[in-house]
Each structure stands twice: as structure tokens, then as C-alpha cells.
Amino acid sequence: MKTAAEYIASLRARKLELWVDGERIPDPVDHPKVRPAINAVAATYAVAHGPHAALASAHSELIDAPVNRFTHLFTSPDDLIKKVEIQRVLGRLTGTCFQRCVGMDGINALFIATWEASEEKHARFVKWLEGVQRRDEMLNGAMTDPKGDRSKRPPAQPDAYVRVVGRRDGGVVIRGAKVHQTGAANAHQILLMPGQALREGEEDFAIACAMPVDAEGVRMVLGRQPSDGRKGGPDAGNARFGGQECVVIFDDVFVPEERVFLDGDLGACATLVESFAGFHRASYGGCKPGNFDVLIGASDLLAREHGVRRASHVRDKLVEMAHLAETVHGVGLAASAKSTAHASGIWEVDPVLANVCKQNVTRLPYEIGRLAEDLAGGAISTLPSLADRTHPELAELLAPAFGSEARAKALRLVEYMTYGAGAVPFRIECMHGAGSPQAQRIVLERTLDWDAKVQRARVLAGLDDDEELPDIR
């Protein structure tokens, strides 16, 4: 398994085409808008060698060796539980998105989907995955298409979706783009998957495959984040870590046959999308509570700096923040503990609880953020730059406005997480990542046994006989 230093060094060997603010970047690793996100991914490598190694690593039956948790298959409920637990650890250690979860959840969903598709495609995928595990690679799980006019199907607007545009000996040619690509510029490979279930006549869009991030024709453009110009400076808020999203363009990229896992397999692609959604929605029960821990800690620190930590209303707000964090975490763990085995050997999360977990994540972080802003006070939006705090002409004059160094930096951290660059994983990703809120409600309506609920109500109301407890009168 790679160390954090080995991971960072491996990125320098790529010939990645990355554009930032209208310029192509020759060395993305050291760019101030890229490096914080690389550091966050590096944390996933570091924890596999430290005190959290039991959670951050696992024994792979594929290669009969220890592997990083983020390349591992979910072969038991314990794997799913440990996944959520290490995600919380990393969310707390970095205070942001550490970017490997889509790839991890994607390989498990594809394991199931290729198993259902054919023995040949499954064997091809497993062989590729063995290489990923041996090299301990970071994967960009690429699912979300631009989609354009949502009222139109992919064939009516093909440029809004990744699709196969050509076939030649030994592989396929794909074209299109994927958006909101978390950590793409920090990855070794792209694991490309369809972003929705597809219908007959849409086979060219039903493509799942893999390629190096620097494959010919792959181009990346870094997305903007609020206040991202502060990264690397005194007002960054999060001093070392950050998230990242890119648009990934596939400009007639040739994918060799050995890296094509699904091609026109409509049923298997539907399985892939559904399985991935469950895995990833449960994942939010890990990473987000870890982020919440950081914001709760910053809020508590500010309460202490302001001398109000013992005030009853302050204590009550901190308890409410912790209660909401544990609610999300508990449902993520429950979805994992109540998992069931698929015939392929992968354990799948409970679909109801996984979707309840993500539904909570579309709401509760906003209340946690509101309480953090309440406790912090107006200075999170009006404080001068921390560079002014140490300027020889201003430091003494500004001392009353800034207060202690701890207060000033905690204010910047709260600002970063609630509406700065850190608000992307803390707020917007919570709303739309792994599917927007209505997507979870659709699954819940489809999955819940409504008739069973009605039937039990009828029994208890005295309308029907009790067949479950017939001996009690």
C-alpha cells in the first residue's frame, strides 16, 4: 500500500491536461488551487499506515494481500461498517471531502453489475481491479453527465452525455463530458459509468470503462469554489486540506477492450446505477459527520474564546449540533449493519436506510451550519484578512477586533465551511451528491411496503383478524 508521500510522488509521473482559470497548468501537484485537495487524498493513504490502519486497510481475497480500504470490495457487513467508520475519521482529520469514495463505491457496484452481465465481462473487470489494488490507485468515479434539457432523453441531445461514437479493432471510442468530478485531477485512473438507467435504443450511452487520467483525448478543467483564491494564503480557513471538482472532457478517447466492462448492457447498467446509489448514499453517514465534528469543534472553540461556553443556550446549541451529527452517522451505520449478500459475494446496504441517511444529509448540515454561524457571530463575514492581524503597522491597533489567534483562525474555519470553499462539500455536495433530494424519496416510495403498514393498521383498528398474533384475544 502506498504511503502519502508515495501517492503524491506518483502524481508527478502523469502527463495530465488540466486547465485552471483559462490556463493549462504544467505541474498541477504544486498549484495552490489543487494541492489542498491532493493533501486530502493523501490522508487516505496516510491512515492506512497509522493508528487507524485496522479501519483503513483490509485483506483482499483477489490478490491475497492487504489493500487500502478505498480499493477493497465489500465482502461482509463488517466491511461496510468499517467503511463508514474510516470515512468519519477522514472527514474529521481533513475537514473536507477526501475524494476516494465514489471510486470505492463504484468498483463494488461494477463488481455486481459485471457479474450479472456475463462471465467474460466480470473476469475482465476483476483483472483490472486486481491491478488497481496492487498499485493502490486513486480512482475518479465518473458518473454525472451534463444532461442538458432534463425533459429530453440522451438520443435527443447526445452531446449532453458520454457515449460510444466509434468502434474499431480492439476497443471503442467515447465522446462527451462528465461534470462535478470530485478529485479527478488527483486520480490515477477514471472509472467511467453511466449516470442513469437507460432504455432500449440508448445502448451507445450504456458504457462503463476505465482509462488513465492522462489518456489521449482526456482533458480536465478545474471547477471554481467560493473564495478559492484564498487557498494557500492566510485566509484559507482550512490551512492544509480542501476539496476539488472538475469537468472531465472525453475528446474521442479510445478505450481498449480489456478496459471496457459494460457496453450496451442495459440491464446491468441499471443494476450498476441502483447499487452505486445505495452504497454512496450510505457513505454520507461517514464523511459528513466527520466534517460536522470539525465545525462543532470550531464552534465550541469560539464559545470558549468568547467566554460564553457555560451559557445554557450555547451548551444547548452545541448539543443539538452533536445530536444531528450522530443521527446521520447512526443511520449510515444501520444501513451497513442491515446489509444483505448479493449472489456475486458483495454485501449491499439496506436501501431504505441508505436513502434515509442521504435524505437527512440534504437537510441536517444546513441546521448545523446555521447554529455554527449563530455561535460564531458576525465576524465570520466581516473580519479583515489575517495578514492585517500581523502587519507591523496594524497589529496592535487591530488586536481588540481580532482577539486571540485561536479566535481569528476559528472564525476563518467556520467561514470556510459554511460559505467559503469548504461549503462545496459541506452544503452543496450534501444537497446534490449521490442524487438530489427527490431521488431518495423516489426510492423510498418504491421500496417501502405500504400495504403491510395499512394491513397492520387495519388489524389494530379491529377491521381484520390478526394472523401474526392469532392466540392473543
Q: Residue 347: beta bridge partners?
A: 341
DSSP per residue, 398-444: HHHHH-SHHHHHHHHHHHHHHHSTTHIIIIIHHHHTTS-HHHHHHHH
Q: pLDDT, tens digit, for every residue of 49-103?
A: 999 999 999 999 999 999 999 999 999 999 999 999 999 999 999 999 999 999 9
Q: pLDDT, tens digit, for every residue of 336-368?
A: 999 999 999 999 999 999 999 999 999 999 999
The torsion angle over the Cα atoms of residues 316, 322, 327 and 331, rounded to 10 degrees, is -170
Q: Please give the pLDDT value at position 377.
A: 97
- Per-residue pLDDT averaged across 313-317, rounded? 98
Q: Please give the pLDDT value at position 393.
A: 97
Rounded to 5 degrees, what are φ and ψ at 27? -135, 90
Active-site residue numbers? 97, 101, 182, 245, 280, 284, 287, 429
CB contact set of 239 (below 8 Å; sequence gap of 6+): 409
Q: Which three cell numbers stand for residue 82?
A: 468499517
Q: Please give the pLDDT value at position 472.
A: 94
Q: Please give the pLDDT value at position 473.
A: 87
Q: For residues 190 and 212, what is the distance between their CA atoms, to the nearest angstrom? A: 6
Rounded to 5 degrees, what are φ and ψ at 337? -65, -30
DSSP per residue, 262-308: EES-HHHHHHHHHHHHHHHHHHHHHHHHHHHHHHHHHHHHHHHHTT-
Going by pLDDT thresholds of 50, 70 and 90, the confidence category of residue 174 is very high
What percentage of residues in the chain have a pLDDT greater than 90? 100
* pTM exceeding 0.75: yes
Q: For residues 142 and 192, what is the distance between their CA atoms, to the nearest angstrom? A: 5
Closest CA to 262 of 405, 109, 131, 152: 109
Q: Are strands 18-20 and 171-182 parallel, antiparallel or unpaired?
A: unpaired
Q: Residue 57: beta bridge partners?
A: 68
Q: Please give the pLDDT value at position 210.
A: 98
Going by pLDDT thresholds of 50, 70 and 90, the confidence category of residue 295 is very high
Longest CA span, the chain = 86
Q: Please give the pLDDT value at position 376.
A: 98
Cα distances from 271 to residues 116, 464, 472, in angstroms, run 8, 38, 44
Q: For residues 306 and 294, what is the distance between their CA atoms, to the nearest angstrom? A: 18
Q: For residues 105 and 182, what is the distance between their CA atoms, to the nearest angstrom? A: 13
Q: Please give the pLDDT value at position 99.
A: 98
Q: Residue 18: beta bridge partners?
A: 220
Q: Give the number of other Cβ atoms within 10 Å of residue 326's Cβ.
A: 12
**Residue 461 pLDDT greater than 90, yes or no:** yes
Q: Are strands 171-182 and 163-168 parallel, antiparallel or unpaired?
A: antiparallel
Three-class DSSP category at 173: strand
- Per-residue pLDDT averaged across 147-151, rounded? 97
- Tracing cell 482526456 back to the chain, one arrives at 218
Q: Are 52 and 1 in contact, with CB atoms under 8 Å apart?
A: no
- Per-residue pLDDT averaged across 161-186, rounded? 97
Q: pLDDT, tens digit, for every residue of 389-419?
A: 999 999 999 999 999 999 999 999 999 999 9
Q: Where are the beta strands (DSSP E) in 112-199?
A: 139-142, 163-168, 171-182, 189-192
Q: Are 42 and 108 in contact, with CB atoms under 8 Å apart?
A: no
Q: pLDDT, tens digit, for every residue of 98-142?
A: 999 999 999 999 999 999 999 999 999 999 999 999 999 999 999
CB contact set of 226 (below 8 Å; sequence gap of 6+): 419, 420, 421, 423, 424
Q: pLDDT, tens digit, for every residue of 89-99?
A: 999 999 999 99
Q: Are 130 and 61 in contact, with CB atoms under 8 Å apart?
A: no
Q: Please give the pLDDT value at position 149.
A: 98
SS3 content of the chain, % helix, strand, coil (to 5): 55, 15, 30
Q: Which three cell numbers stand for residue 443?
A: 426510492
CB contact set of 161 (below 8 Å; sequence gap of 6+): 145, 146, 147, 154, 176, 195, 205
Q: Please give the pLDDT value at position 140.
A: 98
Cα distances from 177 to residues 144, 196, 360, in angstroms, run 9, 15, 30
Closest CA to 271 of 100, 95, 115: 115
Half-sphere exposure of 89 (CA within 13 A, CB side): 20
